[in-house]
Copies of this chain bind each other. A is one copy, B any other.
């Protein structure tokens, strides 16, 4: 950020009166430009023991696999956003079954929110942001070609829940450890009954 979006003056980095951390502040009109983490919403679509995956046609991670997900838009709920992204990226008309996971990724200012969903009709097709879409069993998931660590974490937990015979609601932080490996920290999981 270089210029004030309200008045066009050059902004500066300082701690506003009464606050405890630096913000972008406009010295001309006084506007404080708050920056907040963004939500990414998506669906883990379940169809007869298989999961819906999309091969990305866009950067970042062109050619890698993910579940349908994208930034939440103003004016929609997280469920509505997850359904919209699934339709846009995978041509899939889904209904949400239940919340599944909330993962914070503080070092990139994002939170991923996943819902479990099912197909309302059997058609799936690659949207403009996907090269290919397919339904795969846990064994068929291309674990080494997943687009984002948070997607791997979600799919691993989902696979484990299926193997255990019960879904849980997951919450945690996805971050890099000292060796640079992405890990899930402060994992809370509670079985969902009903």
Copies in the complex: 2
Assuming the contacts A39-B36, A71-B36, A190-B98, asked whether A173 and B8 have C-beta atoms less than 8 A apart, the reply is no
Q: How far is the CB of A77 from chain B (nearest CB, A)?
A: 4
- Asked whether any CB of chain B lies closer than 8 Å to the CB of A21, the reply is yes
Contact indicator B192/A74 (Cβ below 8 Å)? no
A107 CB contacts on chain B under 8 angstroms: 75
A193 CB contacts on chain B under 8 angstroms: 190-191, 193
Q: Could you mark each residue 88-131 of chain A with 1 if its beta carbon is under 8 Å from any beta carbon of chain B, else 0?
A: 00000000101100101011010101000000000000001000
- Asked whether any CB of chain B lies closer than 8 Å to the CB of A1, the reply is yes
- Asked whether any CB of chain B lies closer than 8 Å to the CB of A2, the reply is yes
Contact indicator B74/A37 (Cβ below 8 Å)? yes
- Asked whether any CB of chain B lies closer than 8 Å to the CB of A72, the reply is yes
Assuming the contacts A37-B72, A104-B78, asked whether A99 and B3 have C-beta atoms less than 8 A apart, the reply is no
- Docked complex Cα distance between A191 and B43 (Å): 21
Contact indicator A194/B190 (Cβ below 8 Å)? yes
Select from chain B the residue with minimum beta-carbon distance to A1. B5
A18 CB contacts on chain B under 8 angstroms: 128
- Asked whether any CB of chain B lies closer than 8 Å to the CB of A35, the reply is yes
- Asked whether any CB of chain B lies closer than 8 Å to the CB of A66, the reply is no
Q: How far is the CB of A194 from chain B (nearest CB, A)?
A: 6
Q: With A78-B111, A192-B192 given, name 8 new contacts (CB 8 A).
A: A1-B5, A1-B6, A2-B7, A5-B33, A35-B74, A37-B39, A39-B111, A78-B102
List 6 A-B residue pairs with CB atoms under 8 Å apart, sorted by A's residue number. Answer: A3-B5, A37-B72, A78-B102, A99-B102, A99-B190, A169-B192
